[in-house]
Chain A
Amino acid sequence: MAKIEKANSLGEWFDQRLNTTTFTKVMMTEYWIPKDINFLWAMGVLLAVTFKILVITGIFLMMYYKPDVNLAFDSVNYTIMQEVAYGWLFRHMHGVAASVIFLIIYIHMLTGIYYGSYKKGREMIWISGMLLFMTFSAAGFSGYMLPWGQMSYWAAMVITNLFGGIPLIGDALVVWIRGDFNVADATLTRFFMLHVFLLPISIMAIIGLHFYTLRIPHVNNQTSEDIDYDAEAEKYLAGNKKESKVIPFWPVFISKDFAVLGIFLIFYFYLVFFHYNFAMDPVNFDPADNMVTPAHIYPEWYFLWSYEVLRGFFFDIAGFKAFDIGLAAFGFANVAFLLLPFLDRDPDILPAHKRPMFFAWFWVLMVDLIVLTVYGKLPPTGANAWVGFFAAVVFILLFVALPILTKIDAKKRGA
């Protein structure tokens, strides 16, 4: 056993038992971060805070929510919104955070792509991040269904139906996922469990993994410069703070995160109080009705791009059914980003503006994602259907072309 002496302070008492001094050094005051970063590097902390808001408000909502098809709608719209003191505040905070967290995830993700933060030793950061994106998507989808509104009901119907397209086991899989032949009470109860227990727990675990993956390769920086962390840290500790290329996580790095967080929270609470309905589809304030289909069924905004890839293939090609092609494209869209570290064949880590082909690729991707998102919500008729088709094709071609484009960049640079 370690040598335990009479402690002179509470801090010392804990230090002897939990080694808190070393722990704080490793985790905070001597966890080195590159100095050359911009506010986009604060997105991780924004996500952590938003996730915390979701968990806490979710716990309060859970106290009054009833996962029963006959009670769910009224428990949300009447009990929580009108009877419970500040229930409306918790609901709006939860609903807006659920939407805003995806905006921040996308900014976080595209920042990583722009600066090449998924490459050469940072693959696990990227992969764990994409796993987080997938679990967040599942959490968003399962939570969206809980108020048992008309749009969430039909979105659940459409999304669960997709699994029917999987060869051989499709039909049985749909029934297995729903727990019934239809989206019904069994589906609601299990989605409730997924949303309040299994998925949040998984997210917390993967967040732990995501943080851990940063430890060894360290955070990337604006110029993607390869920093000798030991040497730079020594400079910093010796007092040459201005010369050193690194800063400690606490308090220097986090002080910037807090400053960005301050601005973010103003934006977030402005939405909560004055524009909460941007995140809530009006159709969802009609109770679910399995006899009436809404005029257009569309998911929440953050799924629209992949929904449009699914929907873009609206005609049969070479004997393959439109539905099957769409489903395959949808599957591709959902794993394409995960494969990014392996599709990018450039041996160097560089920000996009130092890789001409990749720079063009990045902005075409941005525009394509926005086009897919906007057209994913519009009715898929006439010209809309064709825009959706071409945008979906462009999306797929982008990922097919990536290995070639990145190779060309590297060759031109002489790498």
Chain B
Amino acid sequence: MRELKILAVVVALTLITYWGVEPFAHSQMHPHVDAADYQFKDADGLKGMKGNAEAGAALVQANCIACHSITSQSFPPLMDDKTSAASYGVVPPDLSSAGKIYNADYLAAFIKNPAKAAKTEHKFQDGATHPMPNYDWMQPQEIADMVAYLQSIAPKEMTNKEVFADACQRCHAIKYGDMQKGTMAAFTPDENIKAYMGKLPPDLSQYIRSRGESYLHTFINDPQKHLEGTAMPRVGLTADAEQQVITYMQEVGDSSKADREALGPKFLIYLVIFAIFAWLWKASKWRDVH
């Protein structure tokens, strides 16, 4: 009985200390931010307007493919990554999957005014302009048509890795994704992306561990929430696409998770058996002395 009391004291003091240096300290160091908004309510979006994909096809071909490739529709990139990064500052995204991975309202808002939708207006002051021009001179219906077209050509299914590549890899490398071959380097060469963003965007290999899943969700949804003034744009991913990005980061950065979860219970069962035998042995030895 006395020993149980001592154990209770030891456990209580340990838990108080643990609570202080983990949950409590982290709540003090990382202030709470609002939940992610996947509706992008603040963006100047479609406002319920329906678009016509056929009309949109002509508009996209007339306005977008001068810079953007749409490989799935036989509009290949006009330049290699290095040259296009040198021309635009950053490699423009291929639009094949844009209709799937980005929220429709966000896409519309982005076409109208990219810097505003991406919340990076602070970066484009004093004559500096976003590499993609504003299309707010277009009719709202025309913009809705283009969004409808992008959605109509988007693939139904994409792998986690494809979503990551389309959404993040223009700027971010994730070298553990393919350590041997180097194919997971950022598309935009280091010197261009550094000039464009102000600093080299971090390699994301270990971000699932250094930031954690819940931080990544709120961060990707709106980078300004956690890092006010950051050059990283709000990319406008849908909830599903964002989940795929984070799942990919998990597969790359924490690839032993499945092994760990499979092996853990076996270890614990073995140890419970060990503990039972140890207590029986103890009881048999101490019976003689008490």
Contacts and interface: CB of A to CB of B under 8 A. Distances in A.
Interface of A: 35, 38-40, 74, 77-78, 81-82, 88-89, 92, 103, 107, 241-242, 244, 247, 251-252, 255-256, 258-259, 261-263, 265-266, 269-270, 272-274, 277-278, 280, 282-287, 295-296, 301, 304, 366, 370, 373-374, 377-379
A296 B267 contact: no
B24 interface: yes
Given A242-B289, A259-B281, 8 more contacts: A77-B206, A88-B260, A241-B289, A252-B288, A266-B271, A273-B264, A273-B267, A370-B17
Interface in B168-223: 176, 179, 202-203, 205-207, 209-212
Given A35-B289, A39-B3, A370 B256 contact: no
Nearest to B179: A78
B275 A266 contact: yes
Given A269-B267, A273-B268, A39 B281 contact: no
Contacts of B255: 81-82
A125 to B, nearest CB: 21
Given A269-B271, A296-B29, A283 B210 contact: yes
B14 interface: yes
Contacts, number: 132
A370 B6 contact: no
A266 B270 CA distance: 9
Contacts of A366: 13
Interface in B234-290: 255-256, 259-261, 263-264, 267-268, 271-272, 274-279, 281-282, 284-286, 288-290
A304 B21 contact: yes
A262 B276 CA distance: 8
B28 interface: yes
Nearest to A253: B285
Contacts of B286: 252, 255-256
B2 interface: yes
A259 B259 contact: no
B22 interface: yes
B58 interface: no
17 contacts: A39-B3, A81-B255, A89-B263, A92-B260, A107-B10, A251-B285, A255-B278, A258-B278, A259-B278, A262-B276, A265-B271, A273-B267, A278-B18, A282-B210, A285-B209, A295-B29, A366-B13
A373 B277 CA distance: 37
A241 B7 CA distance: 27
Contacts of A301: 17, 21
A247 B203 CA distance: 60
Nearest to A262: B275
B206 A286 contact: yes
Given A77-B176, A273-B267, A39 B20 contact: no
Contacts of A77: 176, 205-206
Contacts of B261: 273
Contact of A39 (B7, B21, B272): B7
A373 B288 contact: no
A195 B145 CA distance: 64
Contacts of A379: 28-29
A261 B281 CA distance: 13
A269 B275 CA distance: 13
Nearest to B9: A366
Nearest to A369: B17
B25 interface: yes
A134 B285 CA distance: 36
A38 B7 CA distance: 10
Contact of B13 (A82, A242, A370): A370
A277 B210 CA distance: 10
Contact of B256 (A88, A103, A261, A277): A88
